[in-house]
Structure 1
Amino acid sequence: MNRAGSLFPLLLVGLLAMGSFWLEHIVSSEDRSGLRNVRHEPDTMVENFTVDHFDARGQLQSQLVAQQLQHFPDDDSSELDAPIIRFLGEGRLATFTARKAFVSSRGEQVLMREDVRGDRPPQNGSPRQTLTTEELLVRQGEELARTDKPFVLTHGNLQIQGVGGEWDNLKGQFRVFGQLQAEMPGQPTQTTP
């Protein structure tokens, strides 16, 4: 009986070692077969954050703000809730908002989706510009925003509806790539009795 009692710890250590080797084998075979990378599950969540981007001179160029960020390790992307992108350069203020956004692995592109809105206040003699669409790809470093979806752009009293366009914030221009319909309200006519 004494001998069986002394073998129990040795048997327990042996079972633990076999379990460790088995677990390591399962995990490494998932890595080799790519099973681990197939799962699109967040590994990090951040609430209420701001990321500032600076130009080469150290001046604040843009901000990315969101209520929540989820990072996905399988493709190194991030999903944002209630994102806001602000361009803050002198004479070229602009703000873009949406319900959701998806950020590329290096953060250079932000795909904004659902109820996307852009606003550029009056500045440098140019009237207010607003944009509404359902999807907008924003390249922060270049201050460009592009859509291939239907959009409505207002520039002062001019309203433009189209499909596909690009907002160049550095130049203060919007280029239309596809269909276009513009409406510029005229002055109301007065009739005299």
Structure 2
Amino acid sequence: MIRRLIDRLSLYLPLILMGFLALGSWWLVRSMPSIIYADENKPVRQEPDYRLENFSVKSFDTTGRMTREVMGDKGRHYPDVDEMHIDHVRVYAQSDTGVKINAKANTGVATGDGERVTLLGQAVAVRAADANAPRMALRGERLLALVKEEKLLSSDPVEITRDKDVFNALTMNFNSKSGEYLLDGRVRGVLAPKP
């Protein structure tokens, strides 16, 4: 009789174990709802989620060559817009073709992916001289750098110094790959005589 009872229980043992495992899984899911069911309507915080002081962020290409460095005295990341606001920003960039640009401004705003950097307040960007183009300096109150496209844009008045030539314009679109710039609005230029 006991043998028969043990045989019957052994038939139902896998079913009983599966029931306990299912009950344990259900309890685990119910006890951790905040991880599994995150509230998608929860507002994103508008205060900075982290701060940096006297920092430097470097980017490298696949060969290990440094392509970009962003430095600042203070930085604050805002998660609601995924932007980094930087005080006394300094940027160094080098393109695939070897074009080097150094830029600085009172403040800077960089997107989370690093593809757009806006320089605000006494912004200066300098393209170093190379075999294809002379030294060029761009000055304005607001410069927008599109990193992937290697462009500098400004919708505010700018001053461009190209070697000894000086140009002023209301807006600018500068392509650092080709060294070409499109000036719009009221454009004035002073061309220095060639020796």
Both proteins in one fold, TM over 0.5: yes
Contact 1:91/1:124 (<8 A) preserved: no
Deviation at 1:125, TM superposition (A): 4.8
Please give the per-residue CA displacement for 1:66-85, whole angstroms capped at 9, x wherever unaligned: 11110112222210011111
Partner of 1:141, secondary structure, is coil
Given the alignment, which residue of 51, 54, 59 partners 1:48?
A: 54
Q: What's the CA shift for 1:167?
A: 2.0
Q: TM-score, normalised by structure 2?
A: 0.71
Q: How far did 1:135 drift?
A: 0.5
Q: Deviations over 1:74-122 (max 9, x none)?
A: 2222100111111224641111110101112322111110000011222
- Of 102, 109, 113, 1:102 maps to 109
Please state if 1:124 is matched with 2:98: no
SS in structure 1 opposite 2:48?
Answer: coil
**Greater Cα shift, 129-138 or 169-178:** 169-178
Identity %: 22
Considering only CA atoms, is the larger Rg found in Structure 1 or Structure 2? 2
- Deviation (angstroms), 1:176: 1.5
**CA RMSD, Structure 1 to Structure 2 (Å):** 2.4
SS at 1:48's partner residue?
strand
Gaps of 5+ in 2: 1-37
Question: Which amino acid in the other structure matches residue 130 of structure 1?
Answer: A
Segment drifting more, 110-119 vs 121-130:
121-130
Q: Which residue of 2 aligns with 1:184?
A: 191
Runs of at least 5 residues in structure 1 that lack an aligned partner in the other structure: 1-27, 188-193
Q: What amino acid is the match of 1:161?
A: N
SS at match of 1:127: coil
Q: What secondary structure does 1:160 align onto?
A: strand
Contact 1:99–1:116 (Cα < 8 Å) also in 2 = yes
User: In the aligned structure 2, how far is the partner of 1:106 from the partner of 1:152?
Assistant: 29
Q: Secondary structure of 1:146's partner?
A: strand
User: Corresponding residue for 1:113?
Assistant: 120
Residue 45 of structure 1 and its aligned partner are, at CA, apart by 0.3
Cα pair distance change 1:185/1:162, threshold 3 Å: same
Report the secondary structure of 1:85's partner residue.
Answer: strand
Instruction: Count residues with an aligned counterpart.
Output: 157
1:56 CA displacement: 4.1
Q: CA deviation at 1:170?
A: 1.6
